[in-house]
Amino acid sequence: MALLEILQYPDERLRTIAEPVAEVNDDIRKIVDDMLETMYDSKGVGLAATQVDIHLRIVVMDFSDDGSEPLVLINPSFEPLTDELTDLSEGCLSVPGFFELLDRPAQIRLTALDRDGNEYSKDLDALPAVCVQHELDHLNGKLFVDYLSRLKQERIRKKLVKNRRLATA
């Protein structure tokens, strides 16, 4: 397994729309394993392939406290199960250090393929539902900052660019 570089906003590669996975094979399983290792190393709960410059419809997640319950989503989709919205604070490994409250459907039905290519569906609510929606946004070239005002987006962009400049100085 290998750690992958996580792209950071405003990197334009984060805007790439991911392609469906044609076949779940050993190459795809290696990507999944590398993404899980990267997510755990970065202390995240979710990671989309787009964030590591792989433009395939793959997401990994783990909501357990000890990293023992990895969830693999290949070619994922979801449908809202309610009109009720939840406003949980969202952060992102590609937008480090920033958190914002966003309204998203409170309950969803997730459909995806697992690490072995088997289709499954799961009904999710609260944090898992929000996380799925957040990560699927990544696969569609969208970031949580896109839901914010232009002024907030610009402040975040400038701060991250400045932080990277200081880190490399």
pLDDT one-digit tens code per residue, 64-115: 989 999 999 999 999 999 999 998 999 999 999 999 999 999 999 999 999 9
Domain positions in the chain are 12-168
12 given a catalytic annotation:
no
Element (H, E) at 104: strand 95-105
Q: What band does 163 get if pLDDT is binned at 50, 70 and 90?
A: confident
Long-range contacts from 101-106, C-beta under 8 angstroms, 24+ separation:
102/130, 102/144, 102/147, 104/129, 104/130, 104/133, 104/134, 105/80, 105/81, 105/129, 105/133, 106/82
The model's pTM: 0.94
**Residue numbering of the annotated binding site for Fe cation:** 92, 134, 138
Q: How far apart are CA 53 and CA 68, in angstroms?
A: 25
- Tell me the CATH number for domain 12-168: 3.90.45.10
Before 20, cis peptide (omega within 30)?
Answer: no
1 pLDDT higher than 90 = no
pLDDT tens digits for range 26-43: 999 999 999 999 999 999
pLDDT at residue 140, as a whole number: 98
Q: Is-contact 1 52, C-beta < 8 A?
A: no
**Residue numbering of the annotated binding site:** 92, 134, 138
pLDDT at residue 3, as a whole number: 96
Supply 39's token pair: 């997510």
